[in-house]
Structure 1
Amino acid sequence: MAATQTFTASTATAEISARRRVLRRVLWVFQILIAAFLIVASALPKFVGQVDAVETFELIGWGQWFRYVTGAVELAGGIGLLVPRLAGAAATGLIGLMAGAALTQILVIEPAWALLPAAFALIFALIAWDRREQTRNLVRSLFR
């Protein structure tokens, strides 16, 4: 009877481990796709002064310097998502960026478009949760 319980417990542990590996692979796919979006489709237009990016930041009313700051945060976050040790910290920071983007969409631009940054924030929250141990280790290493 004890052998059966041990076998069942080890089988359950193996099953949980397999599910975690699948989840991690799915999150990596999302990380890579969102990182590519942040770098190519979001940060780059801000840096090169694409007309709609310039107009959007004029509409926001904080000046064009804010366009560059936003682009830099998006670029850094996108790169951070691709570096395993930084992925959790990058995702955590990007949650804040997406919260600001969603609020800006709701209050200034077009409320319906707030769903996109909200969806990204949800994915970033999943990534941050999954990488929380790596983020803790990163923070600990900074204070040594």
Structure 2
Amino acid sequence: MTTITATPTTTSPGKIRNRVLWTLQIVLGLFFLIASGGPKLLIPHTLMENNTTAFSIPLALLIFIGLAEVAGGIGLMVPRLTAAAATGLAILTFLAAGYNAFLAGSPKLAPFALVLTAIFAWIAYERRATLTTLRTLIQR
């Protein structure tokens, strides 16, 4: 009698999904840290002076948005904070899409923010186990 043994695959779908998620998290985290939130914190007056139509919001709100984006970008790259950061960034980008579509007068920018919202919602869903870990750490 012969025995048939299956050869194990080198990567499982879970490993591939995890690599895709981490790649997205790092790329988007660096984007929000360096390109999106960073300038709002470092040079907010210059941004408002050079682009008066796009930044018709108060300076304090612009700085708050910059802080939220930087915190979300850092949170995406910290394993215990990924789901919470992705949830916060999904809300932020959804509100940005609404602002661009209805208040800023530039609805052509809304689809980009909505795609980011969908990506962040997917990351938050896939990393939902970190929310219970985070809750357990907070309750200690």
TM-score (norm 1): 0.81
From 14, 17, 23, the equivalent of 2:17 is: 23
1:32-89: CA deviation from partner (whole Å, max 9, x where unpaired)? 11111101111111111263455333x2x4x110010000000000000000111111
What secondary structure, in the 3-state scheme, does the structure 1 residue paired with 2:80 have? Answer: coil
Provide the residue aligned with 2:66 in structure 1: 71
Aligned length: 132
Letter in 2 for 1:18: S
Is 1:100 the counterpart of 2:85? The answer is no
From 69, 81, 87, the equivalent of 2:82 is: 87
From 35, 40, 46, the equivalent of 2:34 is: 40
Name the structure where helix makes up a greater proportion of residues: 1
Cα RMSD (Å) of the superposition? Answer: 2.2
Letter in 2 for 1:90: A
Query: Conserved in 2, the CA contact under 8 Å of 1:46 and 1:53?
Result: no
Partners of 2:92 and 2:103 lie apart in 1 by 16
TM-score (norm 2): 0.83
Partners of 2:17 and 2:71 lie apart in 1 by 24
Partners of 2:48 and 2:38 lie apart in 1 by 10
1:89-114: CA deviation from partner (whole Å, max 9, x where unpaired)? 10011111011101101112211101
Query: Conserved in 2, the CA contact under 8 Å of 1:91 and 1:124?
Result: yes
Letter in 1 for 2:136: R
- The gaps in structure 2 that reach 5 residues or longer are none
Provide the residue aligned with 1:124 in structure 2: 120
- The gaps in structure 1 that reach 5 residues or longer are none
